[in-house]
Amino acid sequence: MTIQNGLRLGKDLYNMNNEKWYVTTALMPDDILYVGITESDFGIDITISEHDTEEEANEACRKYSIENNIPMFGEYREEV
């Protein structure tokens, strides 16, 4: 998995015509819960919402991040 544009997780080059976008939470190795958008539905405990466009998902992600005081994927910094 890769992090791109501060929001997108797991972008596969062969899947450029994705039909759905998902707001998803992920517990990262720093033990902090982050939120971002993905192209996969990871289930009820991880996926927050489903959207038809990337723009809708980005807006929903930002709103969820603010309302729940959860950082977005782009804020994650892997410790070295």
Per residue in 29-70, pLDDT (tens digit) is 999 999 999 999 998 889 999 999 999 999 999 999 999 999
pLDDT score of 73: 93
Give the residue from 40, 12, 25, 14 showing the smallest Cα distance to 70. 25
DSSP string for 23-79:
EEEEE-TTS-EEEEEESS---TTTEEEEESSHHHHHHHHHHHHHHHT--BGGG----
